[in-house]
Structure 1
């Protein structure tokens, strides 16, 4: 390359297919195309195994080029997921993944796209993640994969896997940061109004929605009362009184039906409430009081234990990149991979 000549553009290939989830495709496309607008060196292409229109799971049709139309090396291959992928891969998808992976510098999956990588044999003896709803299925079907059920995204060598749907944004931003540096990645995140580095892992997402349904009507009502008012008195004796059960019986019921202790469930609900309060601009002291966690110190301990980040660092999440030594850079999930991504220049 001659002195002063602009470096060659990096080809980013997103592989679509029948039934692909639209956001799994568009989230990385938005990140990389926004990065281009801000001066990054990418050329983004949308391919499918056979080329032509592809109908997504939402019914939207995407225009694609065939895999064999691509010539030369691919910098980044991204394989999106679909709701049906854990059950069955579309014809030709695994072969297309193998073909493009062999021509790629690095390969990444979004959400259940990890199942396509697994069926293509790319995750054997590697660490990986996928949507929290399907981590157990991935681990059962492919016991040779070390499945991390909580990570937002994972890097193992030149292969990256990410959690459900919107986690494709987190992964794509981290890849841009590795390629172009934290300043440009931060500008992309600001433009898209998203986290540059999301605190915590998949376990942070809605306590109520990830809690198994109870077969015990009294326990169901108790859970609803905790969710509705996290700051109320939810001590074990008070919960047992409201349920009309002994503390020992209630604890056993929680473990059998919910997979957690009463205190553990209450703390999870209060943590979720605290995150919402901080997201809304609340102070640390007010958040501790309104969420039911009580004191600044208790709030700090709970955040560090569950998210690996202090409440103050959580509030400053848009100013952290995962590259430095800030507490935000230690957030579990995104930080497991961000500061280990190799520079791709």
Structure 2
């Protein structure tokens, strides 16, 4: 649907809500679709419940509803949010609603544990999907015909989309926005929402900072927070050590003990996570180097090959090929 004009009707997005829905799973994607109207014709956004009555989220916040299921004739996109209490909240009436609305929708997206709902009504048989990592094994065991990609942020298989939940629901909504209105609009909306970058679906649920051990001391936590605040700055060991008033040797020893990485290794890992997103968004290697704090494309290439075993250009070609195939 990329390339819509102002004259074309706005895509209609329906979000199915129910008692016990996780509020951020609902609000995150909804805000992306709502904010899009500042950069493109936008969407007609409707909240749908089984009977048209308002619902109460898992944290007790009441959600106003526009329509009942029977009042919805067609949707461009159906979004089904998740819940920490998936077994309880995905009741037979809610599952019937998922089945009915999915049949009336061009595109279906699940957020977090809503993959259980899609799987329960047979939509995911023989399909790829994802969910939050802590529910992935349970989903795979309960539905052996579903191909669960437990580490992906979001997954597309035909008209079916799924995300790992919470913030990943925003990433998925931005990806759907990109399908409809293009990459420039999606990046612009991400900036409006103060999202640093639209992450790609293939990016791991575990960023570099989450794969390793967490900082234990206040000093190490101060350093990692400083790096994450702006990975593009000069984060030499000397600069970092001066910031916390310790010697470079002491800081290096501390980070190796707590984070299993030297300061430079930690900074490189965080920057390379950002590089992946830039490359998958279509920027050049030179642009990615400038945007992520590398002194030159050569230094980026050296770090990228060291970590991934291929050059940034080769990674980008492989990603574009796999995306086209999908």
Q: TM-score, normalised by structure 2?
A: 0.69
Kept in 1: contact 2:208–2:269 (CA 8 A) = no
The answer on 1:201 being equivalent to 2:204 is yes
Kept in 2: contact 1:17–1:90 (CA 8 A) = no
Alignment of 1:86-165 (within 5 A): 89-165=90-166
**CA distance in 1: counterparts of 2:321 and 2:58, whole angstroms:** 31
**CA distance in 2: counterparts of 1:149 and 1:271, whole angstroms:** 26
**Which secondary structure state, in structure 2, belongs to the residue aligned with residue 45 of structure 1?**
strand
The answer on 1:33 being equivalent to 2:34 is yes
**Which secondary structure state, in structure 2, belongs to the residue aligned with residue 39 of structure 1?**
coil
Unaligned 5+ runs, structure 1: 212-219, 240-264, 286-294, 311-324
Alignment of 1:1-345 (within 5 A): 6-85=7-86, 89-198=90-199, 200-204=203-207, 206-207=209-210, 232=252, 266=260, 274=268, 283-284=293-294, 299-301=303-305, 303-304=307-308
Pick closer, same or farther for the CA change 1:18–1:5 going to 2, 3 Å.
closer
Deviations 1:17-76 (A, max 9, x none): 111111111111111111123222420000111222211112111011343353432100
**CA distance in 1: counterparts of 2:266 and 2:50, whole angstroms:** 41
**CA distance in 1: counterparts of 2:65 and 2:54, whole angstroms:** 6
Shift of 1:166: 0.7
**Which secondary structure state, in structure 2, belongs to the residue aligned with residue 72 of structure 1?**
coil
Deviations 1:125-169 (A, max 9, x none): 101000111111111111111110111111111100111211111
**CA distance in 1: counterparts of 2:270 and 2:152, whole angstroms:** 21
**CA distance in 1: counterparts of 2:262 and 2:160, whole angstroms:** 32
**CA distance in 1: counterparts of 2:263 and 2:103, whole angstroms:** 45
**CA distance in 2: counterparts of 1:109 and 1:37, whole angstroms:** 25
Pick closer, same or farther for the CA change 1:58–1:45 going to 2, 3 Å.
same
Kept in 1: contact 2:48–2:69 (CA 8 A) = no
Kept in 1: contact 2:76–2:107 (CA 8 A) = yes
**CA distance in 2: counterparts of 1:70 and 1:80, whole angstroms:** 20
Pick closer, same or farther for the CA change 1:274–1:29 going to 2, 3 Å.
same
Kept in 1: contact 2:69–2:97 (CA 8 A) = no
Kept in 1: contact 2:252–2:262 (CA 8 A) = no
**CA distance in 2: counterparts of 1:31 and 1:92, whole angstroms:** 28
Pick closer, same or farther for the CA change 1:11–1:91 going to 2, 3 Å.
same
**CA distance in 1: counterparts of 2:69 and 2:205, whole angstroms:** 36
**CA distance in 1: counterparts of 2:171 and 2:253, whole angstroms:** 37
Q: TM-score, normalised by structure 1?
A: 0.66
The alignment of Structure 1 onto Structure 2 pairs a total of residues equal to 272
**CA distance in 1: counterparts of 2:32 and 2:88, whole angstroms:** 29
**CA distance in 2: counterparts of 1:63 and 1:337, whole angstroms:** 40
Shift of 1:111: 1.1
**CA distance in 2: counterparts of 1:60 and 1:30, whole angstroms:** 16
